[in-house]
């Protein structure tokens, strides 16, 4: 069972000291050997219990499943109940009631912290025009037509609020970091969850509202920049002055984690080649900083307490410049604990250090438990701690020791982040282990050079030429990434069900050396878990059986409809801010048909290329483009297994009727209709539609008996996004099943 402090047997244990969340890192940076006395126990040990790490896991799990409890998610309820019953029965059988009480207490406390976290992130809803005032931060993007920035120290109608993400239309006006901007406009509050996914970027940046504005209608006054903004802006200017814009954007991302300036093609090449981890600030960066600063000060015979203080101060400053993102904060806390353990000559326990870091991050901001980046960081560290040694023992038998270390760390880390890669529908490059053998040693030179050259340039601007070789390094990295990203040896991932994820991590835990039992017993346990994993995967696949459906998304008064038939063909009408996120969450990688009420030209196609659209259907557009299909009005066309008719009455395009699987859906053309068109709208009765999508044209539903979807509340509308948010309607013969996505 779990180890106690009584009765020991002697054996040596080798453990990774810091296990940062990168997939490949030179082992001599992170490995510490230590010897622990372990006495013989009357009862055979099963797991060495950690009184910080395991309660943290229970606490984290309690927060995560609480949302499923609140939404009555059957899968989460059943899986959680089975886990609790199995764990409770096992601990009672082994007479470990103390551990049982600790784990269950932290689990239920975690449940409560979920509701605390959601309640504290609540943002007040505002309707109509409001007065917005805020300071332009260095979270700042510019293109030919607009600025996108985060307003800090913001207020709405004189009330202080969270940060506001604003897209400003330029119209010849200039905007700079530090400016104070005030304007009138409509704001949309940010909910912590939308489309069943966590708004991690908004939560990290403390964003409470989204807004659009025109700079012509804004009052701009001179403001100020904070100390950390001045440092980031100065370094950014130096990078862009001494490198190409592409390399400068990559260098800035490597330093501070801001990838907004990196071109989409560059990100794709890094992602497809399996080295996207170097563009994120996490354990790899912190490891290099600790190793170099601590090592240099030690070589200079600096007092160990002064060494610890200086290195800790540098890590804290760097974490501040990176915005205290959860993954960076986790690595920083673990690094400081590791140095403190060495300073006090205490044994460093990486799992307990991970528990301390996790508690520090989640206790103050409970919804960080849903941040995929943070969860990947936790999983990656656990993977290295649990699986590195078994993989290394195998690899060193038939390859050089240094390569065996790289492969073992990479395998152990990448294996445990598979479920999170699947959430993004990412692909795995089977050659990533090979490319990292080249990239990580190269990066171990590039990053320290970049870090210290940036500091030197801040103090002595005339030394900016030191940044030039860094640009060469990133050019070489990009060249290698492009070569390896072109390989066809990639496996496309699809999202795992919750039960599959749980069984997956149970299997990883059983395979590790943390579980101490006879090989036969371990084999039987693993077989049981694999059986459960297979059943979970099978049941989740059955649950995803094709059903005709209509998905309604709305953001900033922009609507999007996604219609799917039983043949898995998909029609999309409109677009909004949430569309891409939703398609990603349901693993929808292709849209068969996009319907537009407006002219379709080649100029608008690039803005929709992320949706992988097969054909555009419209009544007017370019005739020589094979991707654009022109349909006559008032004529029924068969498109795949859909029947489509554009309805025109008195030279006005009223809307479009879509028939599929004995279902009729009529979508009103909001850009053409107004209150005076109510009589013209009577013509849709010929279709006897099951559902009419009205959007802002809710007045057209007066006196009608069909089910209508409107963006405004009225007496005859049965569903509107003001009440329900984003939702999906599943069709089963004549039965409609409504489900919220928010």
Q: What are phi and psi of 180, to 5 degrees?
A: -95, 125
For residue 680, give both structure tokens. Answer: 């013209």
Q: Which of 389, 340, 411 is nearest to 13 (CA)?
A: 389
The three-point CA angle 324-440-326 to 5° equals 15
**DSSP secondary structure of 431-496:** THHHHHHHHHHHHHHHHHHHHHHHHHHHH-GGGGGGGHHHHHHHHHHHHHHHHHHT-S-EEE--PP
Distance between CA atoms of 89 and 95, rounded to whole angstroms?
10
Q: What is the pLDDT of residue 742?
A: 62
pTM of the predicted model, to two decimals?
0.78
The three-point CA angle 670-675-676 to 5° equals 115
The answer to whether the beta carbons of residues 387 and 16 sit under 8 Å apart is no
Distance between CA atoms of 548 and 228, rounded to whole angstroms?
52
Please identify, in words, the CATH class of the domain defined by 130-221: mainly beta
C-alpha distance across the termini of the chain, in Å: 43
Q: Which of 42, 38, 41, 40 is nearest to 10 (CA)?
A: 38
For residue 71, give both structure tokens. Answer: 């939404």
- Hey, which bits of 245-310 come out as E strands? none
> What element of type H or E holds 536?
helix 519-543
* Residues linked to residue 209 through DSSP beta bridges, in sequence order: 164, 189
For residue 388, give both structure tokens. Answer: 């590195």
Sorted by where each begins, the domain ranges of the chain are 49-120, 130-221, 498-543, 549-740
* Residues linked to residue 246 through DSSP beta bridges, in sequence order: none
Q: What are phi and psi of 288, to 5 degrees?
A: -60, -45
Please identify, in words, the CATH class of the domain defined by 549-740: alpha beta
Q: What are phi and psi of 729, to 5 degrees?
A: -115, 115
Q: Give SS3 for 222.
A: coil
Q: What is the pLDDT of residue 32?
A: 35
Distance between CA atoms of 179 and 562, rounded to whole angstroms?
40
Residue 332, CA distances (Å) to 231, 322, 548 in order:
20, 11, 49
Residue 135, CA distances (Å) to 1, 158, 225, 235 in order:
57, 14, 9, 21
The answer to whether the beta carbons of residues 565 and 572 sit under 8 Å apart is no
Q: What is the pLDDT of residue 58?
A: 95
For residue 202, give both structure tokens. Answer: 């908004």
Distance between CA atoms of 655 and 42, rounded to whole angstroms?
78
- The 3-class secondary structure across 333-397, one letter per residue, is HHHHHHHHHHHCCCCCCHHHHHHHHHHHHHHHCHHHHHCHHHHHHHHHHHHHHHHHHHHHHHHCC
Q: Which of 598, 592, 600 is nearest to 562 (CA)?
A: 592
Neighbours of 265 (CB within 10 A): 11
Q: Which of 612, 550, 619, 608 is nearest to 576 (CA)?
A: 608
Q: What is the pLDDT of residue 556?
A: 65
Q: Which residues of the chain have pLDDT under 70?
A: 1-45, 195-196, 424-426, 488, 540-546, 556-557, 696, 698, 701-706, 710-725, 733-734, 742
Neighbours of 161 (CB within 10 A): 20
Distance between CA atoms of 653 and 595, rounded to whole angstroms?
13
Q: For residue 571, with 0-12 CB atoms within 10 Å meaning exposed, 13-18 middle and 19 or more buried, which class applies?
A: buried
Residue 677, CA distances (Å) to 211, 554, 647, 652, 719 in order:
31, 24, 14, 9, 22
Q: What is the pLDDT of residue 39?
A: 40
DSSP code at position 243: S
> What element of type H or E holds 39?
strand 31-39
Q: For strand 146-156 and strand 187-189, is the pairing parallel, antiparallel, or unpaired?
A: unpaired
Distance between CA atoms of 547 and 634, rounded to whole angstroms?
29
Strand order in the sheet with 549-555: 628-630, 613-618, 591-595, 570-574, 558-564, 549-555, 727-732, 735-740
Neighbours of 317 (CB within 10 A): 12
Q: Which of 453, 473, 483 is nearest to 244 (CA)?
A: 473
Residues shown for the chain: 742
Q: Which of 246, 261, 194, 185 is nearest to 219 (CA)?
A: 185
Distance between CA atoms of 296 and 451, rounded to whole angstroms?
15
The answer to whether the beta carbons of residues 561 and 693 sit under 8 Å apart is yes
The answer to whether the beta carbons of residues 684 and 666 sit under 8 Å apart is yes
Q: What is the pLDDT of residue 606?
A: 73
In angstroms and rounded to an integer, the radius of gyration of the C-alpha atoms of the chain is: 29
The three-point CA angle 627-633-635 to 5° equals 95
């Amino acid at each position: 069972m779990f180890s106690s402090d009584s009765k020991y047997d002697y054996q040596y244990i080798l453990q990774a000291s810091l296990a940062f969340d990168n997939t490949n890192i030179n082992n001599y940076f992170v490995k510490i050997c230590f010897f622990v006395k372990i006495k013989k126990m009357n009862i055979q040990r099963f797991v060495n219990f950690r009184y910080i790490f395991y309660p943290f896991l229970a606490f984290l799990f309690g927060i995560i499943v609480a949302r499923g409890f609140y939404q009555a998610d059957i899968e989460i309820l059943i899986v959680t109940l089975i886990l609790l019953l199995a764990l409770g029965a096992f601990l009672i059988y082994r007479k470990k009631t103390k551990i049982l009480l600790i784990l269950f207490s932290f689990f239920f406390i975690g449940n409560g912290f979920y509701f605390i976290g959601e309640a504290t992130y609540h943002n007040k809803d505002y309707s109509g025009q409001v007065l917005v005032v805020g300071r332009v931060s260095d979270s700042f993007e510019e293109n030919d037509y607009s600025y996108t920035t985060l307003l800090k120290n913001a207020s709405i109608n004189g009330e202080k609020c969270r940060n506001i993400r604003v897209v400003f239309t330029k119209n010849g006006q200039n905007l700079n970091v530090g400016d104070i901007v005030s304007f009138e406009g409509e704001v949309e509050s940010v909910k912590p969850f939308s489309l069943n996914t966590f708004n991690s970027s908004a939560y990290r940046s403390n964003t409470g509202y989204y807004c659009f504005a025109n700079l012509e209608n804004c009052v701009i006054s001179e403001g100020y920049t904070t100390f950390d903004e001045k440092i980031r802006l100065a370094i950014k200017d130096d990078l862009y002055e001494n490198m190409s814009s592409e390399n400068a954007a990559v260098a800035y991302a490597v330093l501070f984690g801001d990838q907004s300036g990196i071109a989409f093609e560059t990100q794709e090449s890094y992602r497809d080649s399996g080295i996207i981890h170097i563009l994120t600030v996490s354990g790899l960066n912190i490891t290099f900083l600790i190793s170099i600063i601590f090592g240099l000060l030690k070589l200079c015979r600096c007092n160990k307490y002064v060494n610890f203080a200086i290195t800790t101060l540098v890590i804290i400053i760097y974490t501040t410049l990176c915005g205290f993102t959860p993954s960076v904060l986790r690595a920083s806390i673990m690094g400081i604990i590791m140095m403190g353990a060495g300073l006090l000559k205490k044994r460093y326990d990486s799992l307990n250090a991970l528990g301390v870091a996790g508690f520090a991050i989640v206790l103050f901001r409970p919804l960080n438990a849903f941040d995929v980046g943070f969860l990947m960081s936790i999983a990656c560290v656990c993977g290295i701690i649990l699986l590195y040694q078994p993989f290394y023992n195998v690899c060193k038998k038939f390859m050089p020791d240094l390569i065996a270390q790289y492969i073992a760390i990479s395998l152990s880390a990448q294996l445990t982040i598979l479920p999170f890669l699947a959430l993004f529908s990412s692909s795995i490059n089977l050659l990533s282990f090979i490319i990292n053998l080249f990239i990580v040693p190269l990066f171990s030179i590039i990053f320290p050079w970049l870090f210290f050259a940036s500091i030197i340039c801040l103090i002595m601007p005339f030394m900016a030429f030191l940044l030039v070789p860094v640009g060469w390094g990133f050019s070489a990295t990009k060249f290698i990434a492009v070569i390896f990203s072109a390989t066809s040896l990639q496996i496309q991932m699809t999202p795992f069900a919750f039960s599959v994820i749980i069984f997956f991590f149970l299997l990883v835990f059983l395979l590790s050396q943390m579980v101490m039992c006879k090989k036969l017993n371990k084999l039987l346990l693993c077989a049981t878990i694999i059986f459960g994993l297979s059943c979970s995967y099978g049941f989740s696949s059955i649950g995803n059986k094709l059903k005709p459906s209509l998905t309604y998304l709305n953001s900033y008064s922009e609507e999007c409809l996604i219609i799917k038939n039983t043949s898995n063909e998909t029609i999309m009408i409109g677009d909004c801010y949430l569309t891409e996120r939703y398609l990603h969450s349901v693993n929808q990688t292709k849209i068969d048909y996009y319907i537009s009420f407006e002219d379709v030209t080649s100029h608008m196609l690039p803005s929709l290329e992320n949706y992988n659209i097969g054909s555009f259907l419209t009544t007017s557009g370019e005739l020589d483009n094979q991707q654009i299909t022109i349909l006559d009005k008032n004529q029924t066309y068969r498109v795949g297994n859909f029947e489509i008719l554009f309805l025109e009455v008195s030279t006005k395009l009223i809307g479009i009727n879509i028939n599929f699987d004995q279902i009729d859906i009529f979508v009103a053309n909001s850009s053409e209709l107004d209150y005076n068109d109510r009589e013209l709208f009577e013509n849709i009765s010929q279709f006897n539609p099951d559902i009419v999508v009205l959007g802002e044209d809710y007045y057209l539903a007066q006196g009608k008996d069909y089910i209508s979807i409107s963006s405004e509340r009225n007496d005859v509308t049965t569903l509107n996004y003001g009440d329900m948010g984003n939702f999906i309607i599943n069709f089963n013969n004549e039965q409609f099943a409504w489900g919220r996505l928010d």
